[in-house]
Amino acid sequence: MSRIPVIAIDGPSASGKGTVAALVAQALGYHYLDSGALYRLTALDAQQQGVALDDAPELAQLALNLEVRFEAQQIYLRGQDVGDLLRSETCGVSASKIAAIPAVRTALLARQHAFRQPPGLVADGRDMGSVVFPDAQLKVFLTASAEERAQRRYKQLMEKEISANLADLLNDLRDRDARDSARAVAPLRQEDDAILLDTSQIGIADAVDFVLKNYELATGIQVNC
């Protein structure tokens, strides 16, 4: 087992776990893994290469051979900057569908493990604490009510001047939660050894503080923030 420390932050879509995980990584000087991006990249690659979302063997091959480059805030797929395409709702829904295929999940495992580099890693997703990094030093289940998450997503889209309907967003989020929680492999759920962090009533700074304090408690590693 690796001695490189990991903080696993799992939770549903639009819970803010990505923002919190990235800020925790920054505060600690650790690497950051956005595992959802790998599922989104596989879904986008499938769309671009004309692979059907139920073609498990082909999707697993795509996942295994993703030609991806992470550079600061940019993500390149076969040399193309795909940041905006990845964040679209369509890509999120497709990612959630292919994420239910066991062969795709297995194909992405080694790629996720490769992010575990010194001095440490903060990883966010659905199964970081349960499957990918079961020996993580700290496991957090970060969530918020579906209504609050839909509101946040709506606000983000408005800020980007992308038209959206709050009721549709809420329905989509509930569908996605149901699919991610009901699947047979690595379903979304709070594990017994994960600490619950509900951000419905608190801001990002407090959520980051909560994670850092619990990390300090769990490991004794002093965090200056």
By CB under 6 A, name the binding residues for ligand DC.
Answer: 13, 35-36, 39-40, 92, 95-96, 99, 125-127, 176, 180
Residue placing its CB nearer to ligand DC in the complex, 108 or 208: 108
Residue placing its CB nearer to ligand DC in the complex, 13 or 143: 13
Dihedral over Cα of 135, 117, 190, 36: its sign: negative
Residue placing its CB nearer to ligand DC in the complex, 96 or 120: 96
With tokens 């994670």, the residue in question is: 211
Instruction: For the CB of residue 44, give the shortest distance to ligand DC in the complex, in Å.
Output: 11
Instruction: For the CB of residue 165, give the shortest distance to ligand DC in the complex, in Å.
Output: 19
Residue placing its CB nearer to ligand DC in the complex, 42 or 209: 42
Q: Which residues contact 117 (CB under 8 A, 6 or more apart)?
A: 4, 31
Instruction: For the CB of residue 224, give the shortest distance to ligand DC in the complex, in Å.
Output: 29
CA 167 to chain centre: 24
Of all helices (H) and strands (E), which one includes residue 48?
helix 35-49
**HEC secondary structure over 185-215:** CCCCCCCCCCEEEECCCCCHHHHHHHHHHHH
Instruction: For the CB of residue 83, give the shortest distance to ligand DC in the complex, in Å.
Output: 12
Distance separating alpha carbons of residues 36 and 134, to the nearest angstrom: 18
Residue placing its CB nearer to ligand DC in the complex, 87 or 214: 87
Instruction: For the CB of residue 217, give the shortest distance to ligand DC in the complex, in Å.
Output: 25
Q: Which residues contact 87 (CB under 8 A, 6 or more apart)?
A: 40
Residue placing its CB nearer to ligand DC in the complex, 47 or 223: 47
Dihedral over Cα of 101, 85, 32, 210: its sign: negative
Instruction: For the CB of residue 220, give the shortest distance to ligand DC in the complex, in Å.
Output: 28
With tokens 């992405």, the residue in question is: 108
Distance separating alpha carbons of residues 151 and 170, to the nearest angstrom: 8
